[in-house]
Chain A
Amino acid sequence: MAGLPLDHIADKIKDAVGDVVVEVNEGDRVPFVRVEANAVARVARFLRDDGELAFDFLMYITAVDFPDEDKLTLVYYYFSYQNQQSLMVKADVPRQGGTARSIAHIYAAADWLEREVYDLFGVTFDGHPNLERILTPEGFEGHPLLKDFASEDYVPFPDKMPGK
Chain B
Amino acid sequence: MATDTAIHTQEFQVNMGPQHPSTHGVFRMVLTMDGERVVDCEPHVGFLHRSMEKMAENRLYIQFLPMADRIDYLSSLFCSVAHCQAVEQLMEIEVPPRAKYLRTMFMELNRIASHCIFFGVFALDLGAVTPFLYGFRERELTMDLLEMTTGQRITFNYPRFGGVAADLPDSFFAVAEKFLKVFPGRITDYERILNENEIFLARTKGVGVVDGARAINYGWSGPNLRASGVNFDLRQNMPYEAYGELGYEAVVLSNGDCYDRYLVRILEMRASHALIKKCLEGLPDGPIVKEKVSKFPKVPAGEVYARVESPRGDYGLYLVSDGTNKPYRYKLRTPSFNNLSMIREMLPGVYLADVVPIFGSLDVILPDVDR
Query: Are A and B in contact, CB atoms below 8 Å, in the complex?
Result: yes
Interface residues of A, Cβ cutoff 8 Å to B: 27-30, 56-60, 62, 64-65, 75, 77, 81, 84, 86, 88, 107-109, 111-113, 116, 120, 133-137, 144-145, 149, 156-157, 161-164
Number of interface residues of B (CB under 8 A): 48
Cβ–Cβ contact B58 & A57, under 8 A: no
Identify the 4 closest CB pairs spanning chains A and B, nearest first.
A163-B296, A109-B219, A135-B46, A135-B49
Q: List 21 A-B contacts (CB under 8 A).
A: A29-B305, A30-B305, A56-B217, A57-B219, A59-B314, A60-B318, A62-B329, A62-B331, A75-B331, A81-B216, A108-B342, A112-B337, A112-B338, A113-B337, A134-B45, A135-B46, A136-B49, A137-B46, A157-B58, A161-B63, A163-B60
Cβ–Cβ contact A108 & B302, under 8 A: no
Interface residues of B, Cβ cutoff 8 Å to A: 45-46, 49, 51, 53-55, 57-60, 62-63, 89-90, 213-214, 216-219, 230, 232, 237-238, 294-296, 302-305, 314, 316, 318, 320, 325, 328-329, 331, 333, 337-338, 341-342, 345, 370-371
**Option from A59, A88, A136 in Cβ contact (under 8 Å) with B333:** A59
**Option from A28, A30, A65, A135 in Cβ contact (under 8 Å) with B329:** A65
**CA separation between A62 and B294, bound complex, in Å?**
30
Q: Report if A84-B338 is in contact (Cβ < 8 Å); known contacts: A64-B329, A135-B49.
A: no
**Option from B90, B214, B320, B371 in Cβ contact (under 8 Å) with A135:** B371
Additional pairs, 16, CB under 8 Å, beyond known A30-B305, A56-B216, A163-B295: A27-B302, A27-B303, A30-B303, A58-B219, A60-B316, A60-B318, A81-B230, A108-B219, A109-B219, A112-B337, A113-B337, A135-B370, A135-B371, A136-B46, A163-B294, A163-B325
**CA separation between A63 and B341, bound complex, in Å?**
20
